[in-house]
């Protein structure tokens, strides 16, 4: 699935930190830049976050829209951003922000693969040690995401 929903241009590494809003905006901007969502998707992500946190544990947040905002999704895609300085996600420490847009029910399979990758502490350590976006992309891609 990696070739379909994730390309090297959708993977970034930042040495600094970001606010939760800045991280969600970057995730939405990356998805918009590849034509997967409309400009309204950032607002959809914020609506979801107000309802329920998209913090998943193990330093991972997966911001995404609500069912009511599915019309803002044009195609399935991911964005993967690592913030080495961290993001305060409603009081939880986040290093990885994986923006997701799933057309139809495709988000369920994508979420499943991400959850498997981030459930393994050794995999998370490898993701944190990746020195370049290319290395990070290779690890995520090899997990079938």
The catalytic residues are 64
Q: Which residue has the tokens 């991911």?
A: 78
- Cα separation of 82 and 11, whole Å? 8
d(CA 31, CA 12): 13
**Up-side HSE of residue 48: CA atoms within 13 Å toward CB?**
25
Dihedral sign, Cα of residue 126, residue 129, residue 131, residue 137: positive
């Amino acid at each position: 699935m990696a070739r379909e929903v994730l390309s090297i241009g959708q993977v970034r590494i930042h040495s600094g930190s970001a606010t939760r809003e800045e991280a969600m905006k970057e995730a939405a901007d990356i998805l918009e830049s590849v034509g997967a969502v409309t400009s309204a998707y950032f607002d959809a992500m914020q609506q979801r976050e107000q309802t329920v946190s998209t913090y998943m544990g193990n330093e991972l947040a997966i911001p995404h829209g609500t069912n009511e905002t599915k019309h803002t999704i044009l195609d399935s895609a991911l964005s993967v951003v690592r913030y080495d300085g961290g993001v305060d996600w409603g009081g939880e420490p986040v290093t990885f922000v994986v923006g997701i847009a799933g057309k139809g029910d495709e988000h369920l399979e994508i979420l499943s693969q991400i959850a498997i990758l981030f459930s393994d502490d050794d995999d998370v350590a490898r993701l944190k040690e990746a020195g370049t976006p290319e290395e990070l992309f290779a690890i995520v891609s090899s997990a079938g995401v």
